[in-house]
Amino acid sequence: MRPIAVASTTLSTVAYDADRQLLQLVFRDRTAYRYFDVPAEVYEALMHAQSKGVYFNSSIRGRFAHVRIEMFLLS
């Protein structure tokens, strides 16, 4: 997964692995999470959302299994 820096007051970087449907988000506060079984459509919508924070809160948070990861585990 290659992290992409995004213009957002909430998110810092977004990475997605389509084969594994794995979404990785790094927030501005430097916390990082991996979300599982995220369809490509959700990733695409996030990347095109006018407000990534609003999209995250309405369409990702609480809807997908996830784990918090340490920054040194990012790859």
Reported confidence tier of residue 53, pLDDT bands at 50, 70, 90: very high
Q: Is the pLDDT of residue 13 over 60?
A: yes
Model pTM score: 0.92
Q: What are the structural domain ranges in the chain? A: 4-73
Q: Is the pLDDT of residue 55 over 60?
A: yes
The answer to whether the CB of 43 falls within 8 A of the CB of 22 is: no
Reported confidence tier of residue 73, pLDDT bands at 50, 70, 90: low
